[in-house]
């Protein structure tokens, strides 16, 4: 009878040790999950960039910063194609129909808004460098206020 009792006690001890080891592993996993959750740093979402709107043709340059969206509303007297080579922009414009063209300013510089068929320059886009994070308070670039755009009549070619 003694060997049977010894076997039962040994089995009970192994079961208790397995149970303790299981709880210890679960507690270690919980601690690691909590540590990971508190150590994770999430960057704030960038503030939405303001879209620069402008009517074209116009004499005054359109000013934007790198990374900003620019929406041009182009109205011409004749069918033509607006080209901004530096941005790979090539958009057909139908006569007497205001046509919206949306793109992102990707590099600083001065760019002519040129018509392919007539060769006319109907405006200019000036793209300034993006503001450093230190100047914009840690958010995305904020443009200088632009005076409201005024559509200028298109001249017939």
As for how many domains the chain has, the answer is: 2
Instruction: Return the pLDDT at 62.
Output: 94
Q: What is the pTM of this model?
A: 0.54
Q: What is the pLDDT of residues 67-118, one digit of tens each?
A: 999 999 999 999 999 999 888 899 999 999 999 999 999 999 999 999 999 9
More confident residue, 77 or 2: 77
The answer on 67 and 22 residing in a single domain is no
% the chain with pLDDT above 90: 43
Inform me whether the pLDDT recorded for 15 exceeds 80: no
In the block, which residue shows the tokens 């320059």?
121
Q: What is the CATH number of the domain that holds 66?
A: 2.60.40.420
Domain that includes residue 97, residue range: 52-128
Q: Which residues pair with 37 in a beta bridge?
A: none
- The structure tokens listed for 23 are 């709880």
The answer on 69 and 29 residing in a single domain is no
């Amino acid at each position: 009878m003694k060997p049977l009792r010894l076997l039962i006690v040994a089995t009970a001890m192994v079961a208790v040790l397995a149970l303790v080891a299981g709880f210890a592993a679960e507690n270690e996993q919980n601690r690691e999950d909590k540590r990971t959750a508190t150590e994770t740093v999430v960057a704030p979402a960038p503030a939405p960039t303001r879209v620069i709107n402008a009517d074209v043709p116009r004499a005054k340059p359109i000013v934007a910063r790198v990374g900003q969206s620019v929406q041009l509303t182009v109205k011409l007297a004749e069918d033509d194609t607006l080209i901004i080579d530096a941005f790979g922009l090539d958009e057909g414009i139908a006569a007497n129909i205001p046509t919206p063209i949306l793109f992102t300013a990707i590099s600083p510089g001065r760019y002519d808004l040129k018509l392919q068929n007539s060769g006319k320059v109907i405006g200019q886009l000036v793209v300034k460098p993006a503001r450093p994070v230190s100047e914009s308070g840690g958010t995305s670039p904020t443009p200088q206020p632009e005076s409201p755009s005024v559509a200028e009549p298109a001249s017939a070619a």
